[in-house]
Homo-oligomer: A and B are copies of this chain.
Amino acid sequence: MSAGADQGSTKRVYLFGAATTDGDGSMKNLLGGKGANLAEMASLGLPVPPGFTIGTDVCSVYYDNDRQLPESIKEEAIAALNEVARKVGAGFGDKANPLLVSVRSGARASMPGMMDTILNLGLNDETVAGLAERAGDKRFAYDSYRRFIQMYSDVVMGADHGVFEDILENHKNLKGYSLDTDMSADDWQEIVTKYKEAVQEELGKPFPQDIHEQLWGAIAAVFGSWRTPRADTYRKLNGIPEAWGTAVNVQAMVFGNMGDTSATGVAFTRNPATGENAIYGEFLINAQGEDVVAGIRTPQSLTEVARAETGDTNPSLEAAMPVVFKELIEIFTKLENHYSDMQDIEFTIQDGKLWMLQTRIGKRTTKAALKIAVDMVEEGLIKPEQAVMRIEPEALDQLLHPTIDPDAERDVVTTGLPASPGAASGEIVFNSDKAETAKNDGKDVVLVRTETSPEDIHGMHAATGILTARGGMTSHAAVVARGMGRPCVSGAGELRIDYASGTMRVGDRSFKEGDIITIDGATGQVLSGLVKMQQPELSGDFAKIMVWADEARVLRVRANADTPRDAKQARYFGAEGIGLCRTEHMFFDDTRILAMREMICSETEEGRRAALAKILPMQRSDFEELFVTMEGLPVTIRLLDPPLHEFLPHEDKEASAVAQALGIELSVLKQRLADLHEFNPMLGFRGCRLAIRYPEITEMQARAIFEAAIAAAKKTGKPVIPEVMVPLVGFAKEFQMLRKVIVEAAKAVEAETGETLTYQVGTMIELPRACLTADEIAKDAEFFSFGTNDLTQTTLGLSRDDAAPILSSYDQRGIFEVDPFVSIDQAGVGQLVEIGVEKGRKTRPDIKIGICGEHAGDPASVDFCHRTGLAYVSASPYRVPVARLSAAQAAIREKGGTV
């Protein structure tokens, strides 16, 4: 490797594939991605068309020098060009055997389509004849020349390319041609003449016949394209510094369209769809690169096996050009071994000689990624940790759900947020009771609501999918749906739902209850009718990767699960405990909600206690079943959290029925509802504030937990160590008070049963103040669990239920790089988490700290949790595999492991 330029030498131009190759793949910063890649292939001894790269550092020299290339650099380029010509055996400007080159940009980071490219440079009125002669194809030569004039005049000289299109169109009309292929050699020659006249006319100067003038013009144009408004915008959006600059690659042209001994093709070294270890690719004889993808001619298979499979009658490359094929296969193996990964390759065969134009890591499906990674470990090509790093954690999620068949027709009605992955079809229902009834009648239904509330839990369970008009990625609907593994599209803002008439409208399309729709939780699309699905398939490769991931990771992974069903699902996906069991979901069952409402409407402690006594046995049995399911794994139970009004009926009709059932006046119920009304319920009477006011609720819940722990331990023979979690603590005193209530309950249960309980009492850290005073809170709290959903809401001052329109407006303007409710806002919320961890550990060095927000299933957030030294993350059951893999990658990344 030549590091000369970095050390202040005057080297500016780097040869590849000629007498020497000056660079290699590691020199991306200096040579750009393309230049480094070409140098790397050349260094490996592969047949790369020779050329040279002008380094990225010249880009600023160019701008500083008044957009002129300094003479010294021109001299260096000419010397390099001579080397290239010598290698090719042609001459730049040689009338008999002209060297043609391409001039291309190549920045450190890929900026597809942003900058300029010139092909066939070196053609003029004289060399075009030489090319025709040598290629034995005048039509090819003049077609190439007219393309060059068109491209160069547009890109370098600034001509309006419409002019050239008009000339060609007129010519074809005149001749009665309809296709370019109708054009003869003479036609193209005539076009060349007209093009040159047009240049003279429009720009007031002739098209340059001086091939050196052509070269400097093209190089300057590529450097110049670094600072177009379009490129500026792209860089700004992608965080690419202007100072990086672009390199310029000048490379000898090779042609796959020089007769039947020429060809061009693309290949993957393994099957990118299935991961199978078999060459996968196509080629065309006597064609240029763009012809393979253009679809005018049908490309042929590379291997005989593939040809047989497709039943193609055209010969494979293996059969047509066996020598070249053999060389190509050897190169494939060499490249895969060299890069230790599946390659995406472009090649051209000119006159029987193979040229490698490009190799890069190939894109692949998740399924293929798993298979390739596992196979490569088994082939000894990579280590398990590398295999773990090869899988995109986010992509795993799709594997776990049914998805829409990629070939299916999509009649998109509207698009919302992709709130919970997977796709689902079913009849529209507009309320949860109907969803349940329909489900019992054996129907698939999609529950459509303006928004959902805890009262909709049973309907969400019954539905195959959930669609809401309001709410963001972490709205109630989204969070609950992800937890249940139900596909969900939320915040479809164009949706107008009319519950009264049982219809939903989008623009002028209208749907009524019972109409079938499909929602796609991967894209947020709402589709009309039934759409074909693909079922998930968890291959053995998945399991193997997860085993390696579990070996690598340090973070424990728990699940957020409220029911034994969720808990089972979570264990199936590898959860090592429950990090968040929300108890409020347990209150919505028909018999329970009445007792709950009785409690809320009681005006005395006695009344509340009487109602709570009815709830106690039900809570206890819930907890017992959960503990039994988890067989001694840790279970964190959060005490009642939501505002009480969520448990009361809000509509008049239901309110009357409830008042009657409770045996109270409707006015009393309405007054209570009015008393509980809040402007900002998120910042209101909820969390531990309920328990401070009504400690008897905590007392009942703690008793239910402890009694259940004793019963479950007897059943399973595995001791249960419940973790009782107090929500929304902001002041150490709040926690102290409630801890006392919980400890008293434990003592009472111990006294009554004669058993000894082991348990922990800790708190959610979900308010900025809790982070800032974590040292005080940790005096009494045995564990912290960061509730990053609420912490994000308060730190950013942004309600997740109201965020959708704001997020979309911010997204358009590039204010948020990523939705802060999806990936933890490390610069803001992350600082508070770090403060909380540091202060908590200062007081209590061994305090157990985890996170149980939605972020626990997001790879970047998991990486943050790992770096911040948390003990565990607790994610929705369906996100557990994502969290496991992310945790492994975080650990490997920290050790310096890469792909």
Contacts and interface: CB of A to CB of B under 8 A. Distances in A.
B730 A828 contact: yes
Given A794-B795, A806-B685, A809-B692, A801 B679 contact: yes
B731 A801 contact: no
Contact of A680 (B683, B728, B832): B683
6 contacts: A680-B801, A683-B802, A768-B832, A769-B797, A769-B829, A772-B795
B813 A685 contact: no
A733 interface: yes
A810 B692 contact: yes
A737 B825 CA distance: 20
Contacts of A734: 815
A683 B797 contact: yes
Given A678-B801, A733-B814, 14 more contacts: A679-B799, A679-B801, A680-B802, A683-B794, A684-B802, A692-B809, A692-B810, A693-B806, A730-B796, A733-B815, A768-B768, A768-B797, A772-B831, A794-B797
Contact of A767 (B773, B797, B802, B816): B797
Most chain-B CB neighbours within 10 Å: which of A682, A766, A798, A805?
Answer: A798
Contacts of A813: 692, 733, 737
Report copies per complex. Answer: 2
A815 B733 CA distance: 6
Given A772-B832, A799-B678, A683 B685 contact: no
A-B pairs with lowest CB-CB distance, top 4: A683-B799, A680-B799, A769-B828, A684-B802
A681 interface: yes
Contact of A828 (B682, B737, B773, B795): B773
Interface centre among A769, A790, A798, A799 (most CB of B within 10 A): A769
A496 to B, nearest CB: 8
A53 interface: no
Interface string A785-800: 0000010011111110
Contacts of A798: 683-684, 730
A689 interface: yes
Interface string A701-738: 00000000000000000000000000010110110010
A751 interface: no
Given A730-B828, A828-B730, A685 B767 contact: no
Contacts of A767: 795-797
A179 interface: no
Interface string A817-831: 000000001011101
Interface in A822-849: 825, 827-829, 831-832
B680 A681 contact: yes
Nearest to A828: B769
B802 A797 contact: no
A642 to B, nearest CB: 12
Interface in A748-800: 766-769, 772-773, 776, 790, 793-799
A805 B816 CA distance: 36
Contacts of A684: 798-799, 802, 806
A772 B692 contact: no
A797 to B, nearest CB: 4
A493 B768 CA distance: 29
A772 B816 CA distance: 16
Contacts of A681: 679-680, 802
Interface residues of A toward B: which range?
35 or more
A829 to B, nearest CB: 7
Contact of A797 (B790, B828, B829): B790
Nearest to A737: B813
A51 to B, nearest CB: 41
Contacts of A733: 813-815
A733 B809 CA distance: 13
Given A795-B768, A810-B692, A815-B734, A679 B829 contact: no
Contacts of A772: 795, 827-828, 831-832
Contacts of A810: 692
Contacts of A692: 809-810, 813, 815
Contacts of A766: 797
Interface string A656-695: 0000000000000000000000111111110001001100
Nearest to A682: B680
Contacts of A797: 682-683, 728, 730, 766-769, 790, 794
A709 B689 CA distance: 49
A814 B684 CA distance: 19
A652 B825 CA distance: 41
A450 to B, nearest CB: 9
A277 B96 CA distance: 120
Contacts of A682: 679-680, 683, 797, 799
A381 to B, nearest CB: 44
B809 A693 contact: yes
A245 to B, nearest CB: 24
Instruction: Name the residue in A679, A793, A797 with the highest tally of chain B Cβ atoms < 10 Å from its Cβ.
Output: A797
A795 B769 contact: yes
Nearest to A814: B733
A562 to B, nearest CB: 22
Nearest to A808: B693
A498 to B, nearest CB: 12
A766 B795 CA distance: 10
Most chain B CB within 10 A, of A679, A766, A772, A809, is at: A679
A473 to B, nearest CB: 15
Interface centre among A689, A802, A814 (most CB of B within 10 A): A802
A255 to B, nearest CB: 49
A719 B28 CA distance: 56
Contacts of A815: 692, 731, 733-734, 737
Interface centre among A680, A681, A730, A776 (most CB of B within 10 A): A680
A101 to B, nearest CB: 43
Contacts of A737: 813, 815
A682 B798 CA distance: 8
A829 B730 CA distance: 11
A827 B773 CA distance: 7
A828 to B, nearest CB: 4
Contact of A796 (B769, B796, B802, B832): B769
A11 to B, nearest CB: 37
A774 to B, nearest CB: 11
A356 to B, nearest CB: 44
A810 B734 CA distance: 9
Interface string A464-489: 00000000000000000000000000
Contacts of A769: 795-797, 825, 828-829
A831 to B, nearest CB: 5
A685 B805 contact: yes
A421 B689 CA distance: 29
A825 B689 CA distance: 18
